[in-house]
Amino acid sequence: MLRKPLSRVMPSPASYEAKRPFIAALFIILMLMTTGCSFADSLLSLVKGDGSGQLFKLSIPSDPVTLDPILAEDESSIAVLRNMFEGLLKTAPSGEIVCGSAESYTVSEDGLVYTFYLRRDMEWRAAGGFSEKVTAYDFEFGFSRLLDPELGSSYAKDYSCIKNSLGEGEPCVTALDEYTLEITLSYPNALFPSLLTRLPASPCCKEFFESCNGKYGLEAKSIASNGPFYVRLWQHDRYGSDNYVRLTRNDAYSAASRVYPSGISFLVEKSERSRLESFNSGSTQVYFPSGEGGIFGIPDDSQVYRVYDSSAGLVVSPKNEILSREDVKEALFGCIERESLSEGLPQGTKAAYGIFPPDAYFDSRELRSILPEPEISSDPRLSGYKWSFILTESEKREIAGCNVLVADSFDYIEVLELVIEQWEACLGFTPSIEIVNETDYQRRLEEGSYDICLYEIEKSLELAGYLAPFSSDGELASLPHSAEAGSVYSSRYSYPSLEELLLDCRSAESALVSSGSYCPLLYLSTAYAVSDGVCDLWYDTASASLVFSDAKLF
């Protein structure tokens, strides 16, 4: 039996028009399902004016060394990792410590036992498609790695308050079940919640770790994240010029706590000039310069943000028998008028009256509202009078050839020149400014071969860290040491209350300033710029990194 060939019926243009909305919707759905974002979250990204769904780009000065949060120490690694992991607790944009991977926790009356109840909606993500629930066992394994002496993490000593952390037995970090973790301390530590927000306290999935065959944290497919983003691509050719790290939104994390960007690209550009050009051309939306303070040569519509998190001041060498006398330092520093200095200070600096900068982190509170700056009296006439009779003419001649040692990385020499002008007018003392490279500067400090030095106190993870240079545990033996500052710094992780720590920090700061061991001059800032329309990107002082999970671009 012969069959008629089927006739081909061509659809009318009208039928195409009727199906077009359906086809468009289907196309959008297919696109959303392949972007690595949760379906509901991706739909929200399409809402006009929402500011979400953006791929943010910024430059970093070097290739990350490792993306293992227990071992990472370099600036670029930490900048990437801060957006990849979440500990039991986390720091909110306000600076407040809030629950992270834990939905709640309790602390025993004696302050020794912390019990954490984990969220059940946290999941691991990795470039190779790895996906598992985050459990208490992941935190138990993470802490076992952190405290393993054979691994040699430089951060382990900060967590020595954990019972058995020093090798007496298994560290007392125990998964009671899949979603309950218990940590027992040897002694109360008011800073322990803060320690749990930091990268070294991140979880690690044992199953995934063992599958990496020794490459954990060294390539894209060998790092799993439980935070807002995970590594999708990592190009790090030692000899290449187009290296980058591409992070993609963790859909499971975003379903519970919305992550606004679709991802982040960290472009490796080693030249400061190249990073600035990338920002000015629009290739990147964020510019994070090296060094402190000044940002110049950017578009007028850019937004600049500053965080005052370090300080600089003058230190007299204990080896200089004349200048190191307390009465001489009192006259020398007493004639510095900070109010007149303030009138011409460079961009990104403030006149300093203390050691702790205004934005130093302390329990989410504005520091100088709870810790007033030390009172520094300035009386040029009285200082000049004292100088005239406490020093003999022979001593004045001996110190006439003194120098002020400065590292060439210090950007504000003009401020030091103003101070020397005040010394000349008030005391007739005009030391020379000796600018040396960083290597020679450090060597001279270690040897104590300087008369006066301009010393920068670098940003610190916690308040007591700013006292470290003046502790006997400090790296530079030639700096003036204070038993009080040393005591506060060495015992900072064993204070039972934050109030006691704050009081002792205040006392140590006042003692260092009043004794002339340190003469504050400037507060220095970390600054970053963002393109017009970027908002809700914030700077985490604890890690000195930018956090992108809430960032939007309108």
Q: Mind listing the pLDDT tens digit for each residue in 485-510?
A: 999 999 999 999 999 999 999 999 99
User: What does the radius of gyration of the chain's CA atoms come to, in whole angstroms?
Assistant: 28
CATH architecture of the domain formed by 55-271: 3-Layer(aba) Sandwich (3.40)
The predicted structure's pLDDT at residue 334 = 96
Task: Give the tens place of pLDDT for each residue, 76-100.
Answer: 999 999 999 999 999 999 889 999 9
Contact 383, 334 (CB under 8 A): yes
Residue 40 has pLDDT above 60, yes or no: no
Contact in structure between 123 and 136 (CB atoms under 8 Å):
no
Q: Is the pLDDT score of 35 beyond 50?
A: no
225 DSSP 8-state letter: B
What integer pLDDT is reported at residue 209 of this predicted model? 98
Residue 405 in this model has a pLDDT that exceeds 80:
yes
Superfamily per CATH, domain 306-526: Dipeptide-binding Protein; Domain 3 (3.10.105.10)
| pLDDT of the residue at 32 | 46
Q: For the chain, give every domain's residue range.
A: 55-271, 306-526
pLDDT for residue 37 is more than 50:
no
Per-residue pLDDT at 8 exceeds 50: no
**pLDDT given for residue 45 in this prediction:** 58
pLDDT beyond 90 at 42: no
Determine contact, residues 155/149, Cβ cutoff 8 Å: no
Tokens of 449: 């071969």
Q: What is the dihedral of CA 508, 512, 513, 519, to 10 degrees?
A: -140
Reported as a single tens digit per residue, the pLDDT across 435-487 is: 999 999 999 999 999 999 999 999 998 899 999 999 987 667 778 889 999 99
Residue with tokens 């138990």: 140
Domains 55-271 and 306-526 share a fold: no
CB neighbour list of residue 273: distance below 8 Å, 6 or more residues apart: none
CA angle 154, 525, 506 (to 5 degrees): 70
| The pLDDT value given to residue 5 | 35
- Per residue in 230-280, pLDDT (tens digit) is 999 999 988 878 899 999 999 999 998 999 999 999 999 999 999 999 999
Cβ atoms of 292 and 348 closer than 8 Å: yes
Report d(CA 408, CA 419) in Å as an integer: 18
Predicted confidence (pLDDT) per residue in 174-222, tens digit: 999 999 999 999 999 999 999 999 999 999 999 999 999 999 999 999 9
Question: What pLDDT sits at residue 50?
Answer: 84
Percent of the chain past pLDDT 90, that is, above it, reads: 76
Q: Contacts from 489-496 at CB under 8 Å and sequence distance 24+?
A: 489/464, 489/465, 492/191, 492/462, 492/464, 492/465, 493/158, 493/160, 493/161, 493/189, 493/191, 493/192, 493/195, 494/161, 494/187, 494/188, 494/189, 495/188, 495/189, 495/190, 495/191, 496/111, 496/188, 496/190
Q: What pLDDT is stored for residue 332 in this prediction?
A: 97
Average pLDDT of the chain is: 90
Residue 293's pLDDT band (boundaries 50, 70, 90)? Answer: low
Amino acid letter at 326? E
Predicted confidence band at 429 (pLDDT cuts at 50, 70, 90)?
A: very high
Q: What is the pLDDT of residue 105?
A: 98
- Residue 34's pLDDT band, with cuts at 50, 70 and 90, is very low
pLDDT value of residue 475: 65
* pLDDT band at residue 542 using 50, 70 and 90 as cut-offs: confident
